Chain A
Amino acid sequence: MAKLRAAAVSFLNAWPLTAGLERSSRIDLVLAEPARCAEMLEEGEVDLALVSVAGLIKGEYEIVPGLAIGADGPVQTVLLAGEQPPATWDEVFLDTASRTSHVLAKILLDEMGVRPRYTPRPALEGLAAARGTKGALVIGDRGFDVRANHVLDLGREWVQRTGLPLVFALWAARPGRLSPEDVQELARAAQHGLGIRTELARRFAAERGGDPEKYRRYLTQRIRYGLGPHEIVGLEKFLSLAADKGFLPRIPLRFADDVVRSRRIRRQVSVDTALQKGADGERLDADEAEALDEKAPLLELGLAADARRRALHPEGIVTYIVSRNVNYTNVCTTACHFCAFYRPRGHDESYVLSRDQLARKIEETIRLGGIEILLQGGLHPDLGVEWYEDLFRWVKATYPTINLHALSPEEIWHIARTSCISLDETLERLVGAGLDSIPGGGAEVLDDEVRRRIAPLKCSTDEWLVVMRAAHRKGLKSTATLMFGVGEESRHRAGHLLRLRELQDETGGFTAFICWTFQPEHTRLEPGDNSAHAYLRVNALSRLVLDNVPNLQASWVTMGGGVAQAALHMGCNDFGSVMIEENVVSAAGTTFQMDSEEVERHIRDAGFVARRRNMRYQLVGAAA
């Protein structure tokens, strides 16, 4: 097999991404200046290049996911320098080595109200000429040596102005050249390179002179190599500012994992055969799940799912729980496009519930026969693990019978980050303080292409699953969810279900699955197919694909009692919770309400026996 040809810059900051490719059997690497890398990619001399962001304008390139060169603060190697302050400059010399830095310099000067003439000039020449009302842009390793009266670190400047990280360069490939294995090879090389940064710093110092410790700090503290949700938002901000100001055309971002996945060659699948397999409890593969999602008629999916439900729950019981959804805070930093509930910190309508308020809510719940509190909230930047430990200990000490079903994976990550402790330690401390089980919220659609679009600041698919895996290993049970109807496609929904099934095979920690559709009122996201028809189809499909998840809940809160009853005849065996309080979906305009009597009437009317359960789906109380 021919090796992939790749080009990359020789700057120190690229070494961690390229060092691991030196002996690669898949990828041949050549080193060049940034502008030359972009040119080689454009001319097709290479298939893949580590290019500056501005280099993306030349073609419909596919970006390698997860990897980038960027910064989250001062960076040292992208500088504007001059004898006088920038406000006085009437001409700026642009280092000819890079294009992205030109754009960055222009954006930042423009934001400062400085609009000089720009003249391309090699770095050292430009720096030498930066006297009086002239400034110079210096990039790359030359930046380490710049001495001038006025130096503007563009990394620091950007982060201060936007609050977002900056992305300088990424791996981009000509369309259709990358295989998933190539993407893996690049990720592997990066893992290797990032692991030997101290060694790389020493090597650089030996070649070029200078303090190896300074270079080590640069590689480990100044430059960031991830391309996560925050970085993508920063990148999008950069591109949109550049386009608004006319420095670059609009550049749509295309990620290689999206393209590689959609290029997956699908097997022809007979819908009827797949339905019959599903109804008989045989495992469906990705192609079958996707074909059913695309083509199977509602009632056929429903009949197959009903057959599965009858096999798994032959006794004709439909369960529900009396629980209260308590949202301890609405302060959140995530700003998901589909959410109408959150408020920024300091907003007039923001709150954190006090102990008194919580006590009232819990006591009311107990009076109404409730046995569980579903405690969830926004990602409050000030609440660390101690706050949660105190809270849980207090709940458990004051109300020992209450099951504490709390904190979605997103919140658990947030607590770990805010408290600077590991995920495992976070979970251990929360369990130690009284956490009984965790809800499966925040999964949305477990596909990073979709997540980047609808909730760019939320945890990634892998991060969500990592929390669930860790929690299950510690003996916690959880539910799993899917919120769809946000414009995703069949492959995304099918992929979501398969990821859940994979983890369930490994841990068995999911007690139940619940899906619902996106409720768009008061949110900024345009809905896709979020109809009741789609809900019933996807719900039935979930019953067929999730052959290892025992229970399926019907979502009457979003769909209404009637559609939820139909779901009981198409795969569900549980009617969720009598909601004493619910704030998130109702903020998005959906306000179905039922008490236990009404829940039981719906279950009975649909032909089932209604029974109360606990979070582990054990029956409690007498038959109704």
Chain B
Amino acid sequence: MISTLAHRALERAGLGPIRDKVLNGERLSEEEALRLLEARDLAAVGALANHVREKRHGDLTFYNRNVHLNPTNVCVASCKFCSFARPDDKHASEGYTMSLDQAVEHVLSRRPLGITEVHIVSGLHPDLPWDFYLETIARLRKAWPELHIKAYTAVELHFFAEKFGKSYGQVLGELKAAGLTTIPGGGAEIFAPRVRRKICDDKATADQWLEVHRTAHRLGIKSNATMLYGHIERLDERVDHMARLRRLQDETGGFQVFIPLAFHPEHNMIGKAFPKPTGYDGLRTYAVARLYLDNFDHVKAYWISLGERLAQTSLSFGVDDVDGTVLEERIYHMAGATTPQALSEAQLHRMIRLAGRVPVERDSLYNVLKVHADPALTKPARLPVTA
């Protein structure tokens, strides 16, 4: 059920047939996803996405408490959208590489903050040995048994496989045995070869990225998926990106969440030519992702990149996850993000509640840890439709 106003607005926009498919639970085609992205009817498309979001999750809006660990920014890849990577760890280039002790200590020192997850992403360092990566996980697992370790993007995992002469299965199997629990969704960028050639032609290809995730899913490791939008890609390439993810998800069911990431232009090679995508572009992308990716449970807005105001707005456009109280994010901030480094949990709750939603602290597998119902709530929260 959507309101009469939404019904009519979609009809007027020529989106009646798409509306009917969504309401009947039918899957949208790539053409229809593109049609929705191109429609300049944000409120109408948003209302449809919001309908799907509320059917799945009611008012529940998820976040977790995590700490980011970026052990090195030295990277052999030369992605043109990246402001984080450095060619070496010499002082002059602002490169750095943590020692194993430093990396482990960085995480353990955050233990009093009540975090439940560490998110580990690095550059593709030319010299670090396999043991470094394996030991980081093993030592964290040993020192902090209940910590959820979400580590190494598919791009890094592919790099490890090539560099250390292992199969994806071996790399993931060893890491899993050391204590890794899930893998993050980074490095996907845009799958289309035309775009990859131009912005990141020396790292894992689309097929390699997808194969790493397929392998992880088969080993029982859940993962996330991202899309870097708003640079040189076309709208049909965004749809193609989501289509590939939807196909793999049909096959494995191992993705937990889809995370569109806005390109940030400062201090990188393509920023001068391409300004940061506007908030409108973000909102329509979230909404269409929610409508098209019918086999993904969650759509996440990364508030670090969007800012608090737009992240809050996205909660009415299909988004049900706002990421955590992120401590010490480096990658977006080096690309000019001006958002605060961390939102306190109270601020996060306020932002979610003022959007009429209910904050839910989750663990890394989307189990509910705590529903933070508003003590002053006058109306009961809408819950997911379970029927």
Contact = CB atoms under 8 A, between A and B. Distances in A.
Contact of A569 (B8, B41, B315): B41
A432 B314 CA distance: 50
Nearest to A565: B280
B211 to A, nearest CB: 35
A300 B6 CA distance: 7
Interface in A157-204: none
Interface string A273-309: 0011001000000000000000001111011101100
A326 to B, nearest CB: 27
A609 to B, nearest CB: 11
Contacts of B355: 298, 531, 533
Contact of B313 (A297, A304, A533, A602): A533
Contact of A605 (B3, B41, B280): B280
A562 B6 CA distance: 22
Given A276-B4, A606-B278, A606-B280, A302 B43 contact: yes
A532 B316 contact: no
A258 interface: no
Interface in A521-550: 529, 531-534, 536
A276 B7 CA distance: 12
Interface string B265-281: 00000000001001111
Interface in A495-541: 529, 531-534, 536
B275 to A, nearest CB: 7
A563 B309 contact: yes
Nearest to A570: B43
A601 interface: yes
B44 interface: yes
B278 A605 contact: yes
Contact of A606 (B42, B308, B315): B42
A279 to B, nearest CB: 6
Given A297-B356, A302-B43, A562 B50 contact: no
A209 to B, nearest CB: 64
B46 interface: yes
Contacts of B8: 307
Contacts of A601: 275, 278
Contact of A533 (B9, B279, B307, B356): B356
A272 interface: yes
Contact of B310 (A275, A560, A605): A560
A303 B354 contact: no
Given A303-B47, A536-B313, A279 B279 contact: no
Interface string B331-371: 00000000000000000001100111000000000000000
Contact of A299 (B40, B46, B350, B354): B46
A138 interface: no
Contacts of A533: 312-313, 315-316, 354-356
A210 interface: no
A385 interface: no
A440 interface: no
Interface in B12-70: 40-44, 46-47, 50
Contacts of B42: 565-566, 569, 606-607
Nearest to A540: B43
B232 to A, nearest CB: 16
A307 B351 CA distance: 28
A304 B3 CA distance: 11
B289 to A, nearest CB: 17
Contacts of B281: 605
B5 interface: yes
A569 B9 CA distance: 12
Interface string B297-315: 0000000001111101101
B144 to A, nearest CB: 36
B5 A561 contact: no
Given A300-B3, A563-B310, A534 B354 contact: yes
B359 to A, nearest CB: 14
Contact of B309 (A275, A306, A559): A559
A569 B306 CA distance: 19
B43 A560 contact: no
Interface in B258-297: 275, 278-283
A514 to B, nearest CB: 17
B312 A531 contact: yes
A561 B8 CA distance: 28
B282 to A, nearest CB: 6
Given A276-B5, A279-B5, A303 B309 contact: no
Contacts of B283: 562, 565-566
Contact of A566 (B3, B9, B279, B350): B279
Contacts of B275: 598, 601
Interface centre among A279, A536, A563, A566 (most CB of B within 10 A): A566
A148 B42 CA distance: 80
Contacts of A565: 42, 278-280, 283
Interface string A565-582: 110011000000000000
B312 A562 contact: no
A299 B356 contact: no
Contacts of B280: 562, 565-566, 569, 602, 605-607
Given A299-B43, A570-B43, A562 B309 contact: yes
A297 B355 CA distance: 9
Nearest to A297: B356
Contacts of B4: 272, 276
Interface centre among A534, A561, A565 (most CB of B within 10 A): A565
B155 to A, nearest CB: 29
A562 B3 contact: no
Interface in B182-236: none
Contacts of A304: 5
List 5 A-B pairs, minimum CB-CB distance, nearest first.
A562-B279, A607-B40, A532-B309, A565-B280, A569-B42
Interface of B: 3-6, 8-9, 40-44, 46-47, 50, 275, 278-283, 306-310, 312-313, 315-316, 350-351, 354-356
22 contacts: A272-B4, A276-B5, A299-B6, A300-B5, A300-B6, A303-B5, A303-B9, A306-B44, A307-B5, A307-B8, A529-B354, A532-B308, A532-B309, A532-B310, A534-B354, A536-B313, A561-B278, A562-B306, A563-B279, A602-B280, A606-B42, A607-B280
Given A299-B46, A565-B278, 11 more contacts: A299-B50, A303-B47, A307-B5, A532-B310, A532-B312, A559-B309, A561-B278, A562-B306, A565-B42, A606-B280, A608-B40
